[in-house]
Amino acid sequence: MDNLHIIEHAADGEIAEWIEARLSAALAEGPGPVEITVPGGSTPFPILKKLVTAPLDWGRIVVWPGDDRIVPEDHAASNTGRIRALLEPVGAEVVTLTTMEQVSRFALVWLGMGADGHIASLFPNTDPQVNDGQPIRRLTPDPLPPEAPFDRITLTIPSLLNSDAMMFVIRGDDKRAVFDAAVAGECDLPVARLLGAATQPITCFT
């Protein structure tokens, strides 16, 4: 993939600095809002804690969860609640996903990936399509992850592709092997479908 750049063994601070530079460039392009997506799970939050110290014009940044568990925002499993707690105090707007939401073009889509090749909450059993006519879907993973046994709401592949740039943070040899297979076109997992259709620059931090 000519549009993929892999940065090996990146520390959380390095990733935060890269995101800061990307957001600074997007903010400098014009006066309007800059919209990004942020993943849930354990990996992003140490990076976000470093990012919020950056001297950005946070009042112009709109943050979308790439997906969420369908639980109240004060529930420990809520991605949106955790993102809101970090980013709203510095002035960012945090979106609550609903299936009625109109999705804008993103300056940056930040994704994680599960060992089963899922991205956002597009699990293999949900058969996500690159030409999905809906920007957001409510889905039920099967099997339900035991650590978070909830229905999900998620951006679809077309919404993720409607972006200027994309980034992944992939930690662990098992996930790296799945990602490499997807890059090589050796599987038909959700991450492979996304990568196969992506034309924007993609940066993967390991």
* Tens digit of each residue's pLDDT (9 = 90 or more) over 172-183: 999 999 999 999
- The pLDDT of residue 123 is 96
Q: Report the 10 Å Cβ neighbour count for 8.
A: 8
| Structural domains for the chain | 4-205 (3.40.50.1360)
CA pair distance 165, 65, nearest whole angstrom? 16
Which residues lie across from 108 on neighbouring strands? Answer: 36
Per-residue confidence (pLDDT) for residue 73, from 0 to 100: 96
**Under a CB-based contact definition with an 8 Å cutoff, are residues 120 and 158 in contact?**
no
Using one digit for the tens of pLDDT, what is the confidence trace for 105-116? 999 999 999 999
Paired tokens of 73: 């925002």
Q: What percent of the chain stands above pLDDT 90?
A: 93
Cα separation, 196 vs 18, in Å, equals: 24
As to burial, measured by CB atoms within 10 angstroms (0-12 exposed, 13-18 middle, 19+ buried), residue 174 is: exposed
Q: What's residue 83's pLDDT?
A: 97
Q: What is the pLDDT of residue 147?
A: 85
Give the residues of the chain that fall short of pLDDT 50: none
